[in-house]
Amino acid sequence: MNMTTYKRLSCLALVLLLAGCGRGITSTPGEAPNLKSFVAEVRARPAPPLDPLPVMQQFETFEYAAQGMRDPFSDAWTNPEGGNGLRPDPNRRKEPLEAFPLDSLDMLGSIGKGPGLVALVMAPDKVTYRVRPGVYLGQSDGRVTGVSEDRIDLIELVPDGAGGWLERPAAIALDDQ
């Protein structure tokens, strides 16, 4: 087959294809009577009733009169004396174990005996630290008060919610692995 024959056959196929599609496109007013009657029937139907509007609730009015009350946004919430006088020392240099929460520290064991007893604590950074009484650890200003063979006792300073501070006892126990 040469190129001109191929072009003629392609044009003939295209004309036949378009002629077949053209029959459905051309429509006269008499060709779709069932469509027109359906549209007329739908338009003649009555509209469905609308849902009733919801009943509006009547709310009880309330007048806020706080002239004789304390302003919740003033500094009166804080205790000017600072509770019982306890507070963390802001000038104290932080120790390495104060960077970690208390529950993330693990006691591995202890070295020595008597008053020279030292506890070994592993921090989340996988470094083992020596802990003795007076050392600070945890994020709540926890000061170690005692070291025994199976636990470390400490006292944390926590805010009391009224501008003061409270002492709270805490401990880290030896892990039995």
CATH of 98-173, one of 1.10.340.70, 1.10.1740.10, 3.40.50.300, 2.30.30.830: 2.30.30.830
Q: Name residues whose C-beta falls within 8 Å of residue 19's C-beta, 6 or more positions apart in sequence.
A: none
> What backbone torsions phi and psi does residue 24 show, to the nearest 5 degrees?
-75, -25
pLDDT tens for 45-96 read 998 899 999 998 888 888 877 777 777 776 554 555 545 578 888 899 999 9
Q: What per-residue confidence (pLDDT) applies to 105?
A: 93
Enumerate the H helices of 1-135 as residue ranges: 3-25, 33-44
CB 45 within 8 A of CB 38: no
CA distance 114 to 37: 106
Domain ranges of the chain: 98-173
What's the Rg (C-alpha) of the chain?
43
**Residue 123: count of CB within 10 angstroms of its CB:** 16
Question: What would the two tokens of residue 142 be?
Answer: 């926890």
| pTM attached to this predicted model | 0.51
Confidence of residue 33 (pLDDT cuts 50, 70, 90): confident
Q: Is the pLDDT of residue 42 over 70?
A: yes
> What backbone torsions phi and psi does residue 51 show, to the nearest 5 degrees?
-65, 145
CB 120 within 8 A of CB 130: yes
Q: Is the pLDDT of residue 167 over 60?
A: yes
Q: Which residue do the tokens 């805010």 mark?
A: 159
The alpha carbon dihedral of 9, 10, 15, 19 has a sign of: positive
**Residue 131 CA neighbour count, 13 Å, CB half:** 37
pLDDT tens for 95-145 read 999 999 999 999 999 998 888 899 999 999 999 999 999 999 999 999 999
Q: What per-residue confidence (pLDDT) applies to 145?
A: 94
**Residue 20 CA neighbour count, 13 Å, CB half:** 6
Q: What per-residue confidence (pLDDT) applies to 26?
A: 47
> What backbone torsions phi and psi does residue 70 show, to the nearest 5 degrees?
-75, 140
